[in-house]
Chains A and B, each alone.
Chain A
Amino acid sequence: ETGVTQSPTHLIKTRGQQVTLRCSSQSGHNTVSWYQQALGQGPQFIFQYYREEENGRGNFPPRFSGLQFPNYSSELNVNALELDDSALYLCASSSNPGTLNTEAFFGQGTRLTVV
């Protein structure tokens, strides 16, 4: 067990709605990264938070936003949901954002379905 927990596990939303996904990082980890995994694809990097600041961002539109809290837990917010946002959203925590040898511990993911 990695200690990274995500909630909820499954979610169904309607196109145009907004959604918030949550992630509790592993104890001692100050870096949280979010990934989107579409069906049959590998995870794609959305963004990373380090000590409550966004520390890097992938090719996702601004309607994907995030927060990191003082306890290093994190939220992913998606506004104006589109059908293509249906995916497994993975959270990963790590002890350092850029160290080459760092391994990220992934949560179980949140399965978002947009209808």
Chain B
Amino acid sequence: GDSVTQMEGPVTLSEEAFLTINCTYTATGYPSLFWYVQYPGEGLQLLLKATKADDKGSNKGFEATYRKETTSFHLEKGSVQVSDSAVYFCALFTSGTYKYIFGTGTRLKVLA
């Protein structure tokens, strides 16, 4: 079945460091790919998405490119802030399946 694999955390970075969180997927169809963020004590917020190969999603300085050849959707940010500390979830959605498949999440901690 469809699945999403994320790098394990926690990831601890100093403020202004470069961030990469790896995400790879397995899907039988042609999924849309998403990154969601969860701040402490809150629900999920959509961070960015890409719906087809080579699309780049971007928001708030975060970027991810849909790579069909490597089945990947890695999240990057050039300069992280303390306020970026949260858990990040990679997810896929395939038309007709009615559901999102989430990775296990990667906790990011940014130190001042």
Interface residues of A (CB under 8 A from B): 2, 4, 6, 33, 35, 40-45, 48, 55-56, 58, 90, 92, 97-109
Contacts and interface: CB of A to CB of B under 8 A. Distances in A.
Interface in B80-112: 89, 91, 93-105
A90 B43 contact: yes
Q: Is the interface of A mostly helix, strand, loop or mixed?
A: loop
Contact of A42 (B31, B45, B103): B103
A61 B36 CA distance: 27
Given A97-B98, A100-B32, A41 B104 contact: yes
Contacts of B43: 4, 6, 90, 106-109
Contact of A33 (B34, B51, B99): B99
A45 B100 contact: yes
B45 A106 contact: yes
B42 interface: yes
A96 to B, nearest CB: 10
A29 to B, nearest CB: 14
Contacts of A48: 98-99
Query: How extensive is the interface on chain B, given as a class?
Result: 20 to 34
Interface in B11-57: 30-32, 34, 36, 42-46, 49, 51
Most buried by A among B34, B94, B102: B102
Contact of B98 (A42, A44, A55, A106): A55
Nearest to B94: A100
6 contacts: A35-B100, A43-B100, A56-B98, A90-B43, A98-B97, A100-B32
8 closest A-B pairs by CB: A42-B102, A56-B98, A45-B99, A106-B44, A100-B95, A108-B43, A106-B43, A109-B43
A40 B42 contact: no
A43 B34 contact: no
A99 B44 contact: no
B104 A98 contact: no
Nearest to B34: A103
